[in-house]
Structure 1
Amino acid sequence: MYVCVLSETGDEEIYHTKNGKNTILSGSLVSSVNNLRDINDQRGAFFVFPDLSIRLEGVYRLKFHLYELVDTMVYFRHCIISDPFTVYSPKRFPGMTESTELSKAFANQGLKIRVRTDLGTRK
């Protein structure tokens, strides 16, 4: 699976910040399938992007493109767009929330993702 970033309302992919110098999306933009169990102990196929980040504050959506590799051929299968979400500047960031139960379940199965349990207080 490949991921790219879209504006809150547009369908055009955003690759650079407004000044055109930096890529707006950083981290691994491609994920292979992971066969894991969910919080109900059901097996599933999951694509995880543990180090994905957006460098510019604003409201965005992610677009996920699913491809299938068959022998030496690559086939596009489907794409889906996330709901809008907000990216904050460091000064406006409201603080971390605890990791989801699904994230914790994946980490318990050996997937290398950061899990937050003790959040403390932010000053």
Structure 2
Amino acid sequence: MATIWSEDMSEPLDLVKQRSTDDPMERTFIDPMLKNLVGSTITNGEILKDLDNKLGMFFIFNDLSIRKSGNYRIKFSLMCIEMMISVKLTLQTKVLASVFSKVVSVYPAKNFPGVVESSPLSVCFAKQGVKIHVRKENMIPK
């Protein structure tokens, strides 16, 4: 599971205020909140080969987006989900481990520095059939 946090990892920033209008007639007393991290925030593990051709389990979040510009960290949590069947069906979750990403910088459109080159690991996974966005010049045949 992926969640978004402040750069110093002190607070979750999952919700942001929707841009409010300057028109007092259109303002409400309660500012609507939106999810800051959008896309598939939960994924299953996939067994793939890494850059050294070794099998491993990888959790690929290939369509995450962040609404508000700024510097963040993404917290990735590995969870165990158990289904309990008794009188009623319930799901029980337990966090097994968590890790924070390096700082992620999100730019407003006018300041966007451009697309970075695809990482060798991303290219490696794409060649194994993972639907992940990679730059075409990185996709040299096997």
- Shorter-normalised TM-score: what interval? 0.7 to 0.9
Offset of residue 12 of structure 1: 1.9
Bigger shift: 71-80 or 36-45? 71-80
- Structure 2 unaligned blocks of 5 or more: 19-31, 85-91
Give 1 or 2 for the bigger CA radius of gyration.
Answer: 2
For residues 63 and 98 of structure 1, the distance between their equivalents in structure 2, rounded to whole angstroms, comes to 23
For residues 28 and 95 of structure 1, the distance between their equivalents in structure 2, rounded to whole angstroms, comes to 24
Q: Kindly report structure 1 stretches of 4+ aligned residues shifted beyond 4 Å.
A: 70-73
Corresponding residue number in structure 1 for 2:40: 28
Corresponding residue number in structure 1 for 2:29: none
Q: Do the aligned partners of residues 107 and 58 (structure 1) sit closer, same or farther apart at CA in structure 2, a change above 3 Å counting?
A: same
Corresponding residue number in structure 2 for 1:66: 78
Offset of residue 65 of structure 1: 1.0
Aligned length: 118
CA-based RMSD = 1.9
- Structure 1 unaligned blocks of 5 or more: none
Q: Do the aligned partners of residues 100 and 10 (structure 1) sit closer, same or farther apart at CA in structure 2, a change above 3 Å counting?
A: closer
For residues 107 and 10 of structure 1, the distance between their equivalents in structure 2, rounded to whole angstroms, comes to 31
Corresponding residue number in structure 2 for 1:48: 60
Q: Is the Cα contact below 8 Å between 2:9 and 2:73 reproduced in 1?
A: no
For residues 27 and 7 of structure 1, the distance between their equivalents in structure 2, rounded to whole angstroms, comes to 19
Percent of aligned pairs with the same amino acid: 36
Offset of residue 71 of structure 1: 6.3
Q: Is the Cα contact below 8 Å between 1:14 and 1:24 reproduced in 2?
A: yes
Bigger shift: 82-91 or 58-67? 82-91
Cα deviation 1:36-95 (Å, max 9, x = unaligned): 001111111100000001011100001111112456554321111112121111110000
For residues 41 and 60 of structure 2, the distance between their equivalents in structure 1, rounded to whole angstroms, comes to 10
Corresponding residue number in structure 2 for 1:94: 113
